[in-house]
Chain A
Amino acid sequence: MAEKFIIKFSKSGYAKYTSHLDLLRFFKRAFRKSGVALKYSQGFNPHPKLGFAQPLSLGYSSSCELLEFETADNLNAEDICEAITKEMPEGLEIQWCREATGLDKPLASVCESAEYQVTIPFSADTEFLNHVKNGYLEQESITALKRRKRDKKMVETDIKAKIRRFEVRALGENTVLDVELDSGSVSNCSPELVISSFCSYAGIDTPRYDMEVERMSLKFYNNLQF
């Protein structure tokens, strides 16, 4: 019995086109519907206490989404899991619900990195892929164009230090990237920057919209695992 929980769920199929905010709205509603009363924040504009560990870009699928929330009453994780599973539409699937009593900080603040798999419909042989991979990683700096928040201008940024792992392999007619990138409040790197800089380095001209990105896992400080 607890009042703080984490739900792990996956997002696939058309559900990957549900935006962060719409998904948040969806979960709030699903909780209401399933009778799991959330705890509300104090103050002028009370809002229920729930949030995602890391936002997921529109169009990405994921097998590792984490939603943490606080309930108004002392509840049992299994009961919540059962109730909320019933509310899931196609494409959203609850994997588990666990108590999060020991966590004193929000997941978002202890998230360190994320693993992604990028599938590019570009057929290449292993030799070529190894070659471009090494060249890409051996660059002194890996620059990518990024939209600056302040003035919306495109500026160059060096992402080399933020790439924790970078593998390339051929899979049938596709090229697959397996990457681990900084993801959190301290340091963050969007997979889009890796995709664009790598493709331009390797001369892969497959349009971005033909590629699929899936988030495979989230990693946290202090070896927290979910």
Chain B
Amino acid sequence: MELQKKLDRILKRVEKPGRYIGGEVNSAKKDLISVKERMAFAFPDLYEIGMSYLGMQILYNAVNKEEVMYCERVFAPSPDMEKLMKEENLPLFTLETKTPLKEMNMVGFTLQYEMSYSTVLNMLSLSEIPLMSSDRGEEYPVIAAGGPCAFNPEPMADFIDLFLIGDGENLLPDVLKLHMKCREKGLSKKEFLEKASEMEGVYVPCFYEIQYNDDGTIKKLCKQNSKAPDVVIRNILPEIETADFPVKPVIPVVEAVHDRAVVETFRGCTRGCRFCQAGMIYRPVRERSTDNILNIAKAQIESTGNDELSLLSLSTSDYSHFRDLALELMDYCKKANVSLSLPSLRIDKFAFEVLDKIQEYKKSGLTYAPEAGTQRLRDVINKGVTDEDIYTSVEQAISLGWRHIKLYFMIGLPTETTEDLDGIAEIAKNIIEINKKYNGPKGGKFRLTVSVSNFVPKADTPFQWERQNTPEEFMEKHRYLESKLKIKGVTFNYHDSFTSVCEAVFARGDRRCGRALLAAHEKGCRLDGWTEHFYPDRWQNAFEESGINPDFYAFRERTEDEILPWQHIECGVSKAFLLAEREKAYSEKTTRDCRYGCAGCGINKRVKCMTEGIYG
């Protein structure tokens, strides 16, 4: 049966068939005859999620601007679609040309969160591509993966031929070019991988073998191929000002989570929160100029017809010329009738001037992330926020008419005690009181949401050696907070504890953890980021059957000389720095934002830090 017919009979029976049709405005159309290298960019989650992710648009643009290369997209099918695809024998296909993934030259997955790993396996299996890289012959595409989770690639090492570590906008097209040349020369996959492994930021896991000690820790890493480097060094763009940025992003046909124009203002972060992986692996800060940002914003609005514009970075207001940028953008947006949204804004006086003018905000509420309930614990995690900061901003917000405030905290952080939990309740109580000053003893329509997430220790952070709380500990803390937060006007939210355990296993897992992924896949796990598709019992069984003990990975404190599974992947921040930061955490000492002076993380040995000490 021809493909369109087959698809027609499937699409008539699924929810939101628009997820699978492609043909969006600004999607790439190419003459397949002149295309020499074809890649499918695979996002292991639903269309609406993947299409909101800027990284895909950046890489899509970076590859497609090369005439001879064609990057298409594919997302995870929703379970109803998956079921029918199996029934009708329709393998997973790209949106642009409806080509089966197995006919691509390369399939590249982005690993944004650990809970998407099972979806990667499911997408491979729906593509009729063998899961294990060792089972894939020359006839199969090269399976690549990148994204923040690739900084500890080991749990996925058996399934992926090559990982791209670091900035992808030059690396990905270069790898594709190399693959194209190797194929033209008739070289084997192995020969290609050898050549690729010589590139900065490329990790080919099958060139390394891991040996273990009797206690389960890693004994040593044995290189199997002399061409492969001893340590894989992250690919870093020295600056992003000249990096290509998509001004004609693909416009989702089905409403996406974020449906707006987005400009990345800078990459990296100088704050040094000790739990935050992004704050370490994207160093140093690389900013785009204000003019460039404005131009990109305008071009995007014109090419998309979007009526909303947003900025992307790890901390919006840390942009060095934030004031000028915000004022100019506000001015432009007003004229162009576009609403401006400024996520993760540091709430200070200027923020209020800005926010007060952007009406939208009062509807969605003000968000604030103190992360910990006491000054002591905030010093431990190096979150530079004081009680006074919190209360002044909240008071200001309430006095300006905000009726909804959302607070974000993390529990299970190193050194946490009951006092720190009490601190969370204390802050909530005080905010409710502040509100009464303005809105009367009954508080009016004011709502306070307190969201608590479970701390997951991540690779490449000062907390990479820490133990995670057990689900029992988390649940106990949830119960405790729940009783403490029974305050009128306060809504308390928390995350599932077992999900956090799974995250912790794969965030710091070694190569053997792939067995658990495989078992979970066989039990039908996928789309685990969605509560409705997450089956804890399947995961529990998968761990048991594969002999992977989650406790070993999640709840065990590592010694500082233990060989960590990601030790051969270098993000550029030195181990000495991470250890020193850990030390400082335990002695409750803070480290200043390195815009006030270098904190010695080591990244400047690789590239110049343009924001080093600029306020110093």
Contact = CB atoms under 8 A, between A and B. Distances in A.
Contact of B18 (A17, A31, A34, A209): A17
A208 interface: yes
Contacts of A186: none
B21 interface: yes
A22 B255 contact: yes
Given A22-B255, A29-B304, A29-B305, A15 B13 contact: no
Interface string B17-31: 110111111000000
Contacts of A210: 9
B23 A89 contact: yes
Given A21-B255, A25-B255, A26-B253, A32 B9 contact: no
Contact of A29 (B9, B21, B306): B306
Contacts, number: 62
A226 interface: no
A209 B254 CA distance: 21
Interface in B265-303: 302-303
A14 B304 contact: no
A164 interface: no
Interface in B5-48: 8-13, 16-18, 20-25
A19 B13 contact: no
Nearest to A14: B21
A15 B12 contact: no
A165 interface: no
Nearest to A37: B337
Nearest to A33: B305
A47 to B, nearest CB: 11
A26 B253 CA distance: 7
Contact of B307 (A32, A89, A207, A209): A32
A30 interface: yes
Nearest to A48: B307
A61 to B, nearest CB: 11
Interface in A198-222: 207-210, 212
A42 to B, nearest CB: 16
A208 B8 CA distance: 11
Contacts of B302: 33
A91 B23 contact: yes
A58 interface: yes
A71 interface: no
A54 B251 CA distance: 25
Contacts of B306: 29, 32
Interface in B307-324: 307
A26 B17 CA distance: 16
A87 interface: yes
Contacts of A13: 23
A26 B18 CA distance: 12
A89 B18 contact: no
A89 B9 contact: no
A13 B302 CA distance: 27
Given A19-B16, A29-B305, A32-B307, A90 B253 contact: no
Nearest to B98: A14
A195 B11 CA distance: 19
Contacts of A89: 23-25
A89 B253 CA distance: 10
Nearest to B10: A209
A27 B17 CA distance: 19
B54 to A, nearest CB: 18
Contacts of B253: 18, 22, 26
Contacts of A19: 16, 18, 254
A209 B305 contact: no
Given A17-B21, A31-B305, A33-B302, A208 B12 contact: yes
- Which 8 A-B pairs give the minimum distances between C-beta atoms? A33-B305, A17-B17, A32-B305, A29-B305, A14-B21, A209-B12, A209-B9, A90-B23
Interface of A: 13-15, 17-19, 21-22, 25-26, 28-34, 58-59, 87, 89-91, 207-210, 212
28 contacts: A13-B23, A14-B23, A17-B11, A17-B17, A17-B20, A17-B21, A18-B18, A22-B18, A22-B254, A25-B255, A26-B253, A29-B304, A29-B306, A30-B305, A32-B307, A33-B302, A33-B303, A33-B305, A34-B305, A58-B17, A59-B11, A87-B25, A87-B305, A89-B24, A90-B23, A209-B9, A209-B12, A212-B8
Given A18-B18, A25-B255, A29-B306, 12 more contacts: A17-B20, A19-B18, A19-B254, A22-B18, A26-B253, A32-B306, A33-B302, A33-B304, A59-B12, A87-B305, A89-B25, A209-B10
